[in-house]
Every structure is written in C-alpha cells, then in structure tokens.
Amino acid sequence: MNEIKTISIHGAREHNLKNISIKLPRGKLIVITGVSGSGKSSLAFDTIHAEGQRRYVESLSTYARQFLGNIKKPNVDRIDGLSPTISIEQKNTSQNPRSTVGTITEIHDHLRLLFARIGIPHSPKTGLPIERQTVSQMADRILSYEQGTRMYLLAPIVRNRKGEYKKEIAEILKQGFQRIKIDGNLYQISEAPNLEKNYKHNIDVVVDRIVVHENIRSRIINSLKTCLTLTNGLATAEIINSQSISSVQSMDDDTTNASPQYIVFSERFACPISGFSVSEIEPRTFSFNNPAGACNNCDGLGISQKIDERLVIPNPKLTLNDGAIAPWFIPLSQYHTKILTDLGKILGFSLEDNWCNISEDVQKILLYGTNNITYQCFNRNNLNTNFSFKGIIPSLEKRWKESDSKTMQEMIQRYMSSSPCVICNGYRLKKEALSVKIDGMHIGEVADMSIKKAQAWFNQIPTKITPKANEIAKSILTEIDKRINFLVEIGLNYLSLSRRANMLSNGESQRIRLASQIGSGLTGVIYVLDEPSIGLHQRDNTKLINTLKHLRDLDNTVIVVEHDEETMLAADHIVDIGPEAGINGGKIIAEGSPSQIIANPNSLTGDYLSGKMNIKIPEKRRACNIDRMIRITNARSNNLKNITASIPLGLFTAVTGISGGGKSTFLISTLYKAALRIVMGSRNTPGIYDRIDGLEYIDKVVNINQSPIGHTPRSNPATYVGAFTPIREWFSNLPESKVLGYKAGCFSFNVKGGRCETCEGNGVTKIEMHFLPDVYITCDVCNGKRYTSETLNIRFKEKSIADILSMTVEESMDFFVTIPAIYNKLKPLKDVGLGYLKIGQTANTLSGGESQRVKLAKELSKQATGNTLYILDEPTTGLHYHDIAKLLEILHTLVDKGNSIIVIEHNLEVIKTADWILDFGPEGGDDGGKIIAYGTPEDIAKEHTSHTGRFLKNILKNKQSAENVP
C-alpha cells in the first residue's frame, strides 16, 4: 500500500479564502505566512484543523456523538490525506486558578507519585522524620549498631501532656513492668514521684534493656511488639554511648553524663514526641485539586482574600469629608458622618482633617475598631449613651461574609486584595502533605523552584536516597526529567512548576502546551500552531525551532502560522497567502521552500526575507530630556533585584530582554499600576518600590494589552470602539422604524426587543464538548443573524442591521462614508491594520494581537492630550513585516504629538526604531531582574553582556539598507 505523502485541499472557501486548492507535504515543518487578515488562520485552523476535529467526532459512537452535537463542516470541497489534528492556539490560555505549569505538563502528577512513594514525613514541631516500619525492619535498625551498644527499648505512653497519670502508672505496674522514665529520669515504678497535674509530662515504660549482639534478634522483636501494643504502634530505642560508660557501671546506673540518642519507630506515620500524625500517604495526598490534599482554609488555591487598608484609604491626602475612606464615600452618608463626628470629639480629629494628618493610633481605631472599649456620646435625643466602634475593616469583612447580595459582595471585593494563605503559606496543601520531604524539601518548595533549579534538584536525588528508594524512583524521575527537558529546550527554564496558568503570557502558554505534546509522544498527527515564537527573545528562537523539528521528526506534520524570519527560513515548506487582507486576500501568492519564496517576484514575504524591502531605521532619534523622566527607585517585586531606573518621556521606549527577565513585572506590575494609582486614582496595588518621581509630567496612562475585548459572542469591534451605537441610532431614525415605533434598542442584540430570543442575540448556541474545546453552533432560528425577521426587514441602502455587522471595516467605511458619526469611529480600526475584520466579528474569535489593536484603535479615536503615557505589551503579535511598518508609523505619530510610548518587545524590527531601550536580564527567573543596559539602540549594541545588543549589532550594521516601502 502506497504511503500518502500530501495533504490535498480542494476548493477551500472558508471566510475570505478564494476557492483555493493546495497540496501540503506530510511529515514536514510548514509555515503559513502573509499579511494580517489574508486568510492564514482560515486555512490552518478553520479549514484543516476544523475538518480534522469534525472527522474525529464523526468516528465516535452514536451514543458519544449525541452528547457532542453536530460540528459544522468547513466550507471546503474535500481534503485528502488528513490525519487527526491538534491545535495549539494563542487564545486558549486557561483561566482556571487551579491550573499550573506543573498540572498542564503532567509533571505535577509524577511529582505527587514521587513524594507518595519515597517521601518521608517529618514532624512540623520536632523536625524528626516519621517512618512507618515493620517490626522486622525495626530490629534490623537496632542490630545495625555496633555490637556492645547498650540501649533501652521504651514504650512512649504519654507525650507532652498535662496530668497526674496515677491510674496509668498503676496499670503499668500491674502488667509486671518494673521501670519507668518520667521527663527523662529513670525510676522504679513503685517509687515513681507524684506528678504536677498542671505541667506537661513525658512518660516511657522501660520494656527491655539490651546490649546489641548477633543472637539477640528474637528478644528484640518480642520487646518491640510489647512496645507497639502498649502505645498503639510506637516504640523508642534510647541508645547510651557505650564508650562513655565505665566498666563498673551497669545499665541500672543512670548517672552517666552521656547524652542519649533516640531512634523513633512507628507502625504508623506518627511522631511519638509531638503526636503529629499522617494518614496513609497516597498521590492524592499531594493534590490541591482533591479534598484529601487541598488546604482547608484556601480550598487548594494557595491564596486568600482580605480587606486591604491601602484600598480602603487609596488617597491619604484626602480629608474624611472628601472621601479618604473610599467605601464610605458615595458621598459620605449622614450615618457615617455622625459616627465620625462623635469619634472625632472623643479621639481628637475632625472631618476636615486629611487622613495622613490623623495620628497612627487613631487611624488604627478607625480601621480596626475600639476593641470593645466603650465611649460616651449623646444620641439624637441628647441622652448620654455608651457605644463601641467595630472599625471600618471588620464591618466590611462581616458584610462580605454575611451578605447574600452579589452586588454588595462585588462592591466590597473592590477593597480586597489577594495574599498567600496564612495556613498553607501559599503552597495549597494540608500540613500533612507538606510534612513529607525528600532531601529536606516538601513538594510545595520543589514546585516553587525555577524549572532550571528543579531540574538540577531532580538530577541529584539518586545520590540522596537509599538504594531501595532509588529503585522505586527511577522510572518516575525519568518521566519528570523528560518533560522538564522539553520546557528547558523551548526557553521556559525561568518559570516555576507552581506558576498559575492564568498568569502566563499567550506565548508562554502555547509553548508549555507544545512541550506537553512532545511529551505525549504521538506520531502521525497534524499539529497546527499559532505563532509559537510570541514572547520569545531572539536568543531562544533556535531552541523553539529545534523543538518544532523534533515534533516533526516524530513522524508528525507541523503547520505553523508564523511571521518570524528565522522560523520561516528553517521551514521545509512555506505558504504565502495574500496579496492583501480581507476581501483582497485569500489567495495563494507563493509556496515552496524558503529559497523559492525569496525568488518569487509576487511574494511580499519574499521581498522582506531577501532584503528588497525592510523597515527603515530612523536617520535621527529623538533626544532624551533628562528633566522629563519617570524614575522608579528600588523596585523589587517578583525577581526584580532592587532596581532603580529612569524612563525618558516624550520618546518611543522599548523594554527588552530574555523571557522572564523582569520586563512585565517592572513595566506592568510596578510602573503602570503605580501610575494608574497616582495619576488616575485607581485602587489597584502596584509592585513593591520605594518611590516614583516624574508622574507629574503625564495626565493619563493607558495599558493597551492583549486581553480579550470581551468573552461572549455579543462583544465585537463595532461595540468596543463605539461605532455600533450611532449605527443603531441611524437605523432607528429611518422612516420604516419610526412608523413601527422601533427605537435604537430594537437594533441591539443585548436587550429584548428586536433580537432573536432563541440564541439571545448571540447568533450561535454553545455546545459543551467536555473533553474537547466548546463548539458554537449557528442558531437554527435566526441562522446566525442575531435578530428577528421583523427587525431584519428594516433596511438602509438595501442592507439590514445584520448585513452591516457582516461587513469588514473597509466595506463599512465605504458604506457610511457620508455619515461622520459612524465613519470616524471605524477609521482608527483601518489605521491600525484591521480593515479586514468584520465589524460584528465576535470577540472570542480575535487573536491577542487583534484584540490589542482594537484597543489601540479605540484610544486613537479619543481626544489626544499630548501628555499620555501609552504602554503596549508586544504590539507586533500576529503582524507581518508590512503590518509592523504601518503600526510603527501610527505609534511614532503619537510620540510626535508629545505623548510617550513604552513597549515590551522582542521583535528587532521594532527595537531598532526605538529612541531609548531598557534591557533586562541577564537571564530569566531568579537569574534575571537586573537592568543590563540602557540608552539608544546604538548604545545597547555596544554592550557585550546584553543578548539584545548582540542581535541589534548585526541589524544596525545595515543602517544604509533599502528604503521601507509600506
């Protein structure tokens, strides 16, 4: 039988694809590229992957399919040579707070198994190991001591408990025992002293006194069995150093000065000294997703929420009357005014006092209450009454716990912050699980290590454990090592296994899932990936490319939607789709090897790869004004190493460095949140720093990130940029609408009136796929148009409201060119390169890069202040060279108007155009968090310790290269 060597696609027409037919080689690394909106994802994800998923579901039994519903067939005539497909997209990042790097990669499952099999419990109080042993193992341990070693075999019947214990001691005497140790002293039981009942005591029954020699094994076993019976499974051997006992002393003489050594034996996991016990140790003991292991206080989340006084008093410079106490100011009610006035008379403050001028003792009373101390005041009837003040924070906490009102809980939640759980210290697990250690580390500490350090720790484990434990752990460690190697290979060695999935960037999330797929060892599969190079420094690109090739070499076909030059040049086959976006795209412009693409005169991608076209390096960079800078002193959140940095305003600044180097912590978590709090009056909590200067030079700060513009099918670009409201109003003013009494609300799919109630205006119904991603099925009542037939009968220029929403940005701009209220709202979308998007395209189908540019378009439509600080995180995500040139033109225009732009970026095409660079490193995670270099790109290129500088140096050599042709 001949092996199928190609994936043959015939007549693909999904979205903007122009009935294309193409043969892709199987078992190869294939890159699909082209300008944004040209149809790359339509071919890769909406045609190839969608058909692969549909065929998989159809292969299931009828019984299984009834739970999954029908999946729409892509608009394609046929696909031959298709094998099962797996997609790894940007927008599939898990938002589940229980999902971590360790759980996604299954390393945590193997880690749980490792601790369950070879971990040793330790008492949290004494630090002693708690080992469960058989009587035979206990005897072996005793006999392992040097012959002639003397010891007592003790039964610990009381440990660290108050009482007189007369009955217990009398019962021991009845059983025929002669000696007892009380609080470390040896007595004849008949001569035992009376115990003070209010003091804690330790009592051990002396079951036997032995001298170790080879013929004593059976006696030791019998004595140990007696100890275990008396104590429900515990025994202690007290060893006396024989060398320090003179020949004339006997074991009855307890006057030796030698310090005894104790061996604790247990048939169960329990500490004989502290009483701490551990139940049967299983893998689920270490699962924070299972009640058997999850911390009861935080339910395995590792964090707890509490009222944060910094959010309750966001601006200490305000007076009480002007809203210093944020939860009470709506404005300040008569009830709260009365309370504060009465307290003020007693404690010596007034409502006109600034919070920061009130003494710390009084602030504490206002926040946390009078601690049951009562004060006298006059009530409304002028009668003298006593009252105590509960405090702002305790009152909010009480209402949070007791209120059934969701609105009230959401209001109070604005004044709460998350902090590590005080019971499990953020490790998510019960103390029993955290008591189990391997080489002195519990599972939470191992998960908190960077992957690089964890790899080293796992590698040295065989040298730290017994041969028997080694035999048990060998196969588990092999699986862990294999998965950790994959993470290291794709440049994620700076992450920790405990890192939450919802704290990962899109690029990190995608690469982690890529590592998981390599670990699964599947063959014969078609993998479809969406820009895996996102967020990756140029230095680590080679590692990613080798990983993709590894996946290919497992006899898989790897299809990558990508714009990265190095990835394209490493591909076996490239498909260039274009020539433009939207209705002007959807055609195969060129295909073949990288050299064939470069030689093809029709390929825009080939022109950029060959250097015929490029993004121009500025002839002159904007000068840095040292008098207008933002300066942060001693920033030290996450991995930041107490850094102090200055960022000049009025420039285009790039924050660069190795992934995990501290860029986002510095720029987003610290600078942005601090500016948001100080400039915009936000209540968020920034990262830790000592001071920040220079914010007086800006009047607005905007973070244009890649988070979705909405999470439901109702959110779309038109609603986000504010274009849909004037469109609805225009339709409501049409003569037909006025006759029927249709208002603007009738053309909204968010409220009842004109929308389809079967799908509630979504146009689709969601089918939960359980073990597959959820699928949205077109509503069979409105056929995806969202509205009732009566609403759709209202037309403008023969177009219904649904027809308008199906237009691209460019089409709708032409349609509304004579209506400025609509046209001007849509134009910024085209300016940022999104002319191909349908204005009604659902938000959950937009990529992270598209969502970011929709947000940028909204900002461009606003009135510019000239003193705005714009922050963007990797704005080139999803962009072709040609699109990057257009985006840079917009961003530099904003700077020319007096605004400041700071971007986190790895793309050298952007970095080379910056006025100023702040380079972080030198590595990621614990080895990062420092500023390696700062200055112009030319300054960075001269810095030998900068990875960014090394790559910039080569690009800046070609400063006289060809002019950019946007």
Domains of the chain from N-terminus onward: 6-93+522-610 (3.40.50.300), 121-278 (3.30.190.20), 305-420 (1.10.8.280), 616-708+846-966 (3.40.50.300), 717-844 (1.20.1580.10)
- Give the global pTM: 0.76
pLDDT of 259 reads 59
Q: Percent of the chain beyond pLDDT 70?
A: 92
- Please give the helix or strand (H or E) that residue 931 lies within, else none: strand 930-935
Three-class SS state of 100: strand
Q: What is the pLDDT of residues 437-464, one digit of tens each?
A: 999 999 999 999 999 999 999 999 999 9
What's the N-to-C CA distance of the chain in angstroms? 51
Find, among 496, 466, 469, the residue nearest to 484 by Cα: 496
Find, among 771, 763, 806, the residue nearest to 787 by Cα: 763
For residue 28, name the pLDDT band (cuts at 50, 70, 90). Answer: very high
Q: What is the pLDDT of residues 590-624, one digit of tens each?
A: 999 999 999 999 999 999 999 999 999 998 999 99
| Residue 708 tokens, joined | 């979705």
pLDDT of 957 reads 78
Mean pLDDT of 217-222: 95
| Residue 592 tokens, joined | 């073949």
| Residue 25 tokens, joined | 């080689």
Torsion over CA: 847, 849, 852, 853 (sign)? negative
Burial of 945 (0-12, 13-18, 19+ CB in 10 A): exposed
pLDDT of 963 reads 42
Answer for the pair 79, 10: CB distance below 8 angstroms, yes or no.
yes
Instruction: Please report, for residues 136, 347, 388, 594, 883, the alpha-carbon distance to residue 584 in angstroms, rounded to integers and kept in the order given.
Output: 81, 74, 73, 24, 15
pLDDT of 272 reads 59
Window from 15-29, 63-77, 412-426, 440-454 with minimum mean pLDDT: 63-77
Buried b (16+ CB within 10 A) or exposed e, 776-815: beebeebebbbbbeebbebebeeebbbbbbbbbbbbbbeb
Q: What is the pLDDT of residues 535-580, one digit of tens each?
A: 888 888 888 899 899 999 999 999 999 999 999 999 999 999 999 8
| Residue 364 tokens, joined | 């504490």
- Please give the helix or strand (H or E) that residue 107 lies within, else none: helix 107-118
Q: What is the pLDDT of residues 780-817, one digit of tens each?
A: 899 989 999 999 999 999 999 999 999 999 999 999 99
pLDDT of 97 reads 84
Answer for the pair 351, 341: CB distance below 8 angstroms, yes or no.
yes
Q: What is the pLDDT of residues 934-956, one digit of tens each?
A: 999 999 999 999 999 999 998 88
For residue 775, name the pLDDT band (cuts at 50, 70, 90). Answer: low
pLDDT of 69 reads 62
The C-alpha atoms of residue 248 and residue 17 are separated, in whole angstroms, by: 101
| Residue 673 tokens, joined | 């949140």
Q: What is the pLDDT of residues 478-517, one digit of tens each?
A: 999 999 998 988 888 889 999 998 888 777 888 888 888 8
Helix, strand, coil fractions of the chain, as percent rounded to 5: 40, 20, 40
Window from 133-142, 161-170, 329-338 with minimum mean pLDDT: 329-338
The C-alpha atoms of residue 372 and residue 390 are separated, in whole angstroms, by: 8
pLDDT of 727 reads 97
Exposure of 778 in the CB half-sphere (CA atoms within 13 A): 8
Mean pLDDT of 26-45: 94
The C-alpha atoms of residue 273 and residue 433 are separated, in whole angstroms, by: 19
Answer for the pair 575, 33: CB distance below 8 angstroms, yes or no.
yes
- The annotation places the binding site at 34-41, 657-664
For residue 330, name the pLDDT band (cuts at 50, 70, 90). Answer: low
In order, the DSSP letters of 687-728 are PP-SEEE-GGG-SEEEEE-SS-S-SSTT--HHHHTT-HHHHH
Contacts of 467 (CB under 8 A, 6+ apart): none
pLDDT of 750 higher than 90: no
The C-alpha atoms of residue 428 and residue 451 are separated, in whole angstroms, by: 19
Instruction: Enter the DSSP assignment of 623.
Output: P
pLDDT of 277 higher than 80: no
Give the number of other CB atoms < 10 A from CB of residue 923: 21
Which 3-state string (H, E, C) describes 172-238?
A: HHHCCCCEEEECCEEEEHHHCCCCCCCCEEEEEEEEEEEECCCCCHHHHHHHHHHHHHHHCCEEEEE
pLDDT of 7 reads 97
pLDDT of 252 reads 44
pLDDT of 371 reads 73
489 vs 840: which has the higher pLDDT: 840
pLDDT of 377 higher than 70: no
Mean pLDDT of 306-320: 86
Rg of the chain (C-alpha set): 35
Q: Percent of the chain beyond pLDDT 90?
A: 58
pLDDT of 49 reads 95
Q: What is the pLDDT of residues 889-900, one digit of tens each?
A: 999 999 999 999
pLDDT of 246 higher than 50: no
pLDDT of 2 reads 55
For residue 245, name the pLDDT band (cuts at 50, 70, 90). Answer: very low
- The annotation places the binding site for ATP at 34-41, 657-664
Three-class SS state of 912: coil
Window from 69-73, 339-343, 429-433 with minimum mean pLDDT: 69-73
pLDDT of 299 higher than 80: yes
The C-alpha atoms of residue 744 and residue 734 are separated, in whole angstroms, by: 11
Find, among 418, 421, 460, 455, the residue nearest to 439 by Cα: 460
pLDDT of 253 reads 45
Instruction: Please report, for residues 70, 135, 187, 189, 204, the alpha-carbon distance to residue 177 in angstroms, rounded to integers and kept in the order given.
Output: 79, 21, 11, 8, 11
The C-alpha atoms of residue 253 and residue 152 are separated, in whole angstroms, by: 13
Instruction: Enter the DSSP assignment of 70.
Output: P
> Mean pLDDT of all residues in the chain?
88
Mean pLDDT of 284-297: 93
For residue 332, name the pLDDT band (cuts at 50, 70, 90). Answer: low
Phi, psi for 635 (deg, rounded to 5): -75, 130
Answer for the pair 69, 6: CB distance below 8 angstroms, yes or no.
no
Which regions of 383-513 does DSSP assign to beta strands (E)? 384-387, 416-420, 436-438, 441-442
The C-alpha atoms of residue 263 and residue 276 are separated, in whole angstroms, by: 16
pLDDT of 233 higher than 50: yes
Answer for the pair 698, 679: CB distance below 8 angstroms, yes or no.
yes
The C-alpha atoms of residue 477 and residue 913 are separated, in whole angstroms, by: 47
Q: Among the residues of 313-450, which ranges form H helices? A: 334-347, 360-368, 392-402, 406-413, 431-434, 443-448
| Residue 491 tokens, joined | 């440049």
